[in-house]
Amino acid sequence: MLRGHLGNLQPQARLGAGAPSNPYGAPPHPAAGGGLPPGSGMMAPRPVYGAPQPPGTHQLASQIQQMNMGGQHPGPPPAAVPGGAPRPPPAVGQMHPPQGVAAVRPPPAMPRPGFPPAPAMQMNGGMHQEAVGVPQKQQQRYRPPPMPMPAATPQRPLGAMPMPAALNRQQQQYPRPITPSSGFPVGVPPPPRPPPVEGLSAPVPPPMPTPSAAPRAPFMAQQQQHIGGGVARLPPQPPQPQQIGGYPQQQQQPGTPFSPSATAGGMSGTPGGGWGAPPTFGATAPSQPGPPSQQQGGAPPAFGAPPTMQQQQQQSGGMATSAPQQQGVMGGRNIDPGSMPRPASLPPPTQVFETRRENTHTIPPSTEAPIVVRDCGSAGPRYMRSSLNSIPQGADLLKSASLPFVVMINPLALPEHGEAPVDVVDAAGPDVGGPLRCVDCKAYVCPYMRWVDNGRKMECCFCNSSNTIVPPEYFSHLGGDGQRRDREDRPELCRGSVEFDVGGEYLVRPPVCPTYFFLIEVTAGAVGSGATAAACASISQLLDELPGGERTRVGIATFDSRVHFYAPKSSTNSMSNGDIHAAANGDPNEASSASQQQPVMLVMSDIADPFCPLGGTAAAVNLAHHKKALKNLLDSIPKTFASTQVGECAGGAALKATIDALKLGVGGRAVVFLASLPHAGVLALKPREAGRPPSERDTLEVMTPEGKDYTALAQHAAEHQVSIDIFALTQGYVDLATLSVLCTETSGSMHRYNPFNPDADGARFHNDLRWCLMRPQGFEAVARLRVSSGLSVDNYVGAFHRRNPTDLHFPALSCDHTISARLLHEERLREGAEIYLQYALLYTNTEGRRRVRLHNLALPVTRSLGSVFRGADLDTFVTYVAKKVSAQVPGRTIAACRDVIIKAAVDTLVAYRKHVATASSSGQLILPESLKLLPLYSLGLTKLACFRTDARADSRAIWMTRLMMASPTTVLPTLHPRLLELHTLVKKPANAPKVPEKLWLTAERLDSEGIYLLENGFDAHIFIGAAVPPEMCTALLNVPSADMIDIVQFSGPPALDTQLSKAVLALLDEIRRQRKSYMHLRLVRRGHPQEAACMAALIEDRSPSAGMSYVEWLCMLHRQIQNKLS
């Protein structure tokens, strides 16, 4: 087969010896990690549900939970981890500095998702129980390459993962110990932390308090809040709606004015990536009212208890809400800034949240509230979250409410520390026959199924059919309440979330091996910027951690104006397909020789009609047998192309050839490292970005994918189970709007670093790549949402592939992937009943086990609009609007997108005012308690990079892709970032919360003598005021002035033996743990272009490129509401 293409192949070139040297491509050397103290703790046995599990069928979620618990078991490191997910995160030991260099506390690795370590016990009704099916194995250790310690105090990056040695060209540093990441589902407990250096000990979060059963609180009536005039009064019983006086004057904007040509892109704006000069900041801030200190310690109370006065003050931005005053602030009077709705300054104490109480659905709290979820028959809000917790009886009532009926679904979401894992039921045995299902609608058995004929038949709660006969092996007698007597012994009958291990009819062919194909750009621009070396060094380090064990296969290709494939030399001595196939699958007779020889490069120069020159499945080889050869190849690639002068990028041809190679092996993951616009060969792209920023009335045609070729390629990849992840290590425009369709259609991910700098971005890139490859994930997934009779699914929003109208297909699906489904009424529902939702996901885990994961949700039906608004979920509502509007950006104007956001808020508030609110003055803006932050979050959404006039096209595209896949937990911080004071950390009391109070997002809160942190979950910025005292700057940055720091090379404050440095580093670690994300930290000082991007994130202020201030926004909403009511 290969001989037919010999005319397109260049002579084979052997890599390795004689290659020109390159300081970026030096291969990493292994280093011995420091000793780790052994873990401790015995675990009580947990009853096994269902039939015994065969080897290798341990459930994914229980292994995640075991990692969360932090237990340690002796035993050899596992070669292959059971349970369908990657290995636990590596643990970096305490590294010893070179002789003569003082020991400095190494920086901590980014915890992804980063839960605090705790004793190896999980709580279930007060009993200590061991997770089901957790293997007793020792965790493998990660050994990073040694990095020399500079004589000066080093700067530490925000986070985490040690930067590969080949990346850091100017300043090397020691990694801090990695915080055990419980996001990796393996039954191997994380290692304990290494002993910290005296005086610079890393913060160790305390273990989660034991969840205790607190008294249940009665269902509280709908609260309303009137805001106006700034008069603070105690709330009456029951609380009343919130009002804001009409037509206040525009609030005077503090500080320096914004420049119309300011750099933007949200907080993700980068130096040199904007349109003009930045503004300045630094006005003296008045004192801000805030709530008292958060309560510490004690067991978390039950969710739903009546709020204390302190909590009421926190929920109203530090002030007690006033009673309804119909004579409140009328037109012409100013709005008191302190009375405008804002999120709580401090989060409430951790609470235990039961998904059902007294056989009734429980309304979940905000995603920003820390909770420990207990599955009492309905799926937890991390898995399924509805925008309505009380469902209108008919379509007319839903239309009157002007609220969307939407469900957010994250099927593989990670449980938090202290939460029970998802149980696995063995349904793959020959005597089981799979899970019990309705014979008519094919719904799976769940807690809401009804049992008739003395338990011999099952009545479906979705289609009301009673034709399903219970198999004899599944039969159980009924109790007096009509429920099966074995209900509590079977997870599928008492839990809202459950997973079945299946086989037989659920397998159309044997599961394929996990395959990872890395496609690396080696043009002159990529090599010169350090992108090639960064990609090769990170991949080489991560080969030891790839999930799948002995079954994992890896392929590597590079591209410039041609595409270069690589194969072990032993597999290319004979060009027969049989020899290539044997080497690719690790034939024992060839494994030893293959691992000792350099791979051979095969050059594919026909970029107009690309193909893979390696036949069969030889494009990817068995990792266990060829790891040394692959590492040698990755070490040699930067050296081989160090002196290249090739500037053409045939990225499109390389992608097409890679997809063709992977589909021969029945799918896999293609990870693409792109540094320039693919402008050569097939699928070539042209620069489409205009030289000026668009106006609000300009149609954003640049956001529409160019042509249909990339869409067709993405659909072709999805059909063959190929998922594509793109890492754009760029210096300019690469048309991510077109390339993003490859990720959204194949359920992949996209990451952007612009302008990429290996010193500032290397650690962040390494962490993002590591999490992308190691996070819990499934392959060859197909999903369907089933709903009760009387409802139907209108549409889905998210990243997936559609082969038919009912099912969603995912070549790969991760724990960060969220979709939304909008539901419609087909007929009138019965009042007082419940509607049922069931999301079924069929997927293959990394160990080759076929699983069905079920999430069930039951919601009550009501005919009261008041109940509908009381149960409205703001987080889901806003997230759905963000997803929907971001999908509408291509081909529309910015003004039209903002109008959609405004209309969604206005229509809902008009409906509440017309149908629910009590009589009040027309000059008051009334907000329902459940949606009181809707105006603020809507304003924040309009100021994202997607909808700003000064955002670059690629910045707009990356935010559109993020919103498409994001969960409410991720979306809300982007709409309302967190602004914190850093200069006051040394003054806080010992019992103060780890994260200080949030400041209002306005320049009024910025003091020219202060230092601040602004973060949104993706990016973090440190503001340095223009008049910061030199001693304070020295205590944090080791220099008397921020002007002495190269902002482009800045990766984080150094670890100093000062109170301020220790406090700031501890705060950064805690924020990363909470966000479960590596956030690139940038330094912002007066006059730098990055300042404009940060000031744009202060959403309460007016911005030329993003529009109104918070006061103006409230007045605009009030005017539109009055116009509709009149």
The per-residue pLDDT for range 1102-1124, each reduced to its tens digit, is 988 788 999 999 999 999 999 99
**What is 215-268 written as a DSSP string?**
PPPPPPPPPEEB--TT------SS---EEEESSPPPPPPPSSPPPTT---SGGG
Q: Are 63 and 204 in the same domain?
A: yes
Tell me the per-residue pLDDT of 341-366, one tens digit each, with 9 for 90 and over: 999 999 889 999 999 999 999 999 99
For residues 1107 and 1076, membership in a common domain is answered with no
Q: Is residue 670 part of a domain?
A: yes
- Least confident range from 438-447, 483-492, 1080-1089: namely 1080-1089
Percentage of residues of the chain with pLDDT beyond 70? 67
Give the residue, 28 or 611, on which the prediction is more confident: 611
Q: What angle do CA 806, 812, 813 make, to 5 degrees?
A: 75
pLDDT value at position 269? 43
Q: What is d(CA 886, CA 960) in angstroms, rounded to the nearest whole number?
A: 5
Cis preceding-peptide flag for 113 (omega within 30 of 0): yes
Q: Using one digit for the tens of pLDDT, what is the confidence trace for 475-528?
A: 999 999 899 999 999 999 999 999 999 987 888 888 888 999 999 999 999 999
The tens digit of pLDDT for each residue in 259-273 reads 333 333 445 443 334
Total structural domains within the chain: 4
Q: Which residue has the tokens 């850091």?
A: 168
Say yes or no to pLDDT of 46 above 70: no
| Helical segments of 411-521, H only | 491-494
pLDDT at 428: 86
Please check whether residues 134 and 103 belong to one and the same domain.
Answer: yes
- Residue range 222-242: average pLDDT? 39
pLDDT at 422 over 60: yes
Question: Cα(927)–Cα(1121) distance, rounded to whole angstroms?
Answer: 12
If asked whether residues 965 and 983 sit together in one domain, one would say no
Q: Around Cβ 640, how many Cβ atoms within 10 Å? A: 23
Tell me which residue range forms the domain holding 1028: 977-1088
pLDDT tens per residue, range 731-786? 999 999 999 999 999 999 999 999 999 999 999 999 999 999 999 999 999 999 99
Mean pLDDT of the chain: 75
Contacts of 1078 (CB under 8 A, 6+ apart): 110, 112, 158, 159, 160, 161, 763, 764, 767, 768, 771, 1072
How confident is the model over 910-935, as pLDDT tens digits?
999 999 988 766 778 899 999 999 99
Is residue 302 scored above 90 in pLDDT? Answer: no
> Domain of 531: which CATH number?
3.40.50.410
In this prediction, residue 130 carries a pLDDT of 34
460 burial level (CB within 10 Å; 0-12, 13-18, 19+): buried
Strand partners for 352: 302, 372
Residue 614 counted as domain residue: yes
The answer to whether residue 17 is domain-embedded is no
d(CA 176, CA 144): 11
Say yes or no to pLDDT of 545 above 60. Answer: yes
Closest to 783 measured CA to CA, from 397, 384, 1068: 384
pLDDT at 214 over 50: no
Rounded (10°) CA dihedral 16, 18, 23, 26: 30
Range 402-433 burial, b when 16+ CB lie within 10 A, else e: bbbbbbbbbbbbbbbbbbbbbbbbbbbbeebe
Classify residue 969: in a domain, yes or no. yes
Residue 679 CB neighbours (<10 A): 17
Residue 993 and residue 949 share a domain: no
Among 180, 211, 242, the domain boundary falls at: 211
Given a cut of 80, whether residue 330 has pLDDT beyond it is no
pLDDT in tens, 772-829: 999 999 999 999 999 999 999 999 999 999 999 999 999 999 999 999 999 999 999 9
Question: CA 661, 662, 665: angle at the middle one, nearest 5?
Answer: 105
In single-letter form, the type of residue at position 600 comes to V
pLDDT at 569: 66
Report the share of the chain in percent with pLDDT over 90: 55
pLDDT of residue 597: 60
Looking at the structure, tell me whether residues 1010 and 1078 fall in a common domain: yes
State whether 71 and 153 are in the same domain.
Answer: yes
Q: Is the pLDDT of residue 387 over 90?
A: yes
| Structural domain ending residue among the three candidates 752, 774, 796 | 774
Is the pLDDT assigned to residue 1065 strictly greater than 80?
A: yes
Shared domain for 981 and 971, answered yes or no, is no
Residue 681, pLDDT > 90, answer yes
Q: What's the pLDDT at 1106?
A: 80
Task: Pick from 180-189, 321-330, 430-439 the range whose average pLDDT is largest.
Answer: 430-439
Query: Do 91 and 135 belong together in one domain?
Result: yes
Claim to verify: residue 751 and residue 606 sit in the same structural domain: yes
Side-chain-side CA neighbours of 800 within 13 Å: the count stands at: 28
* Domain end among 726, 753, 774: 774
740 in any annotated domain: yes
Residue 573 has pLDDT above 70, yes or no: no
d(CA 789, CA 780): 29
Alpha-carbon distances, residue 516 vs 519, 553, 564, 622, 801 (angstroms)? 10, 6, 17, 11, 20
pLDDT band at 838 (very low <50, low <70, confident <90, very high): very high
CA–CA separation, 996 vs 36, rounded Å? 32
Domain assignment present for residue 130? The answer is: yes
CA 919 – CA 940 distance, rounded (Å): 30
Residues 928, 1045: one domain?
Answer: no
What are the backbone angles phi and psi of residue 645, rounded to the nearest 5°? -115, 5
pLDDT at site 334 = 65
More confident residue, 368 or 164: 368
Q: Is residue 726 part of a domain?
A: yes
The answer to whether residue 307 is domain-embedded is: no
Based on the fold, state whether residues 984 and 1108 are members of the same structural domain: no
* Triad 414, 419, 421: Cα angle to 5°: 65
Out of 284-293, 609-618, 892-901, which region has the weakest mean confidence (pLDDT)?
Answer: 284-293
pLDDT for the residue numbered 246: 37
User: What is the number of other CB atoms lying within 10 angstroms of the CB of residue 899?
Assistant: 15
Task: Report how far residue 802's alpha carbon sits from residue 719's, in angstroms, rounded to the nearest whole number.
Answer: 9
For tokens 């084979």, what's the residue? 12
Element (H, E) at 312: helix 309-315
Residue 10 clears pLDDT 70, i.e. is over it: no
3: pLDDT strictly greater than 70: no
- The string of pLDDT tens digits covering residues 105-133 is 333 444 444 333 333 333 333 333 333 33
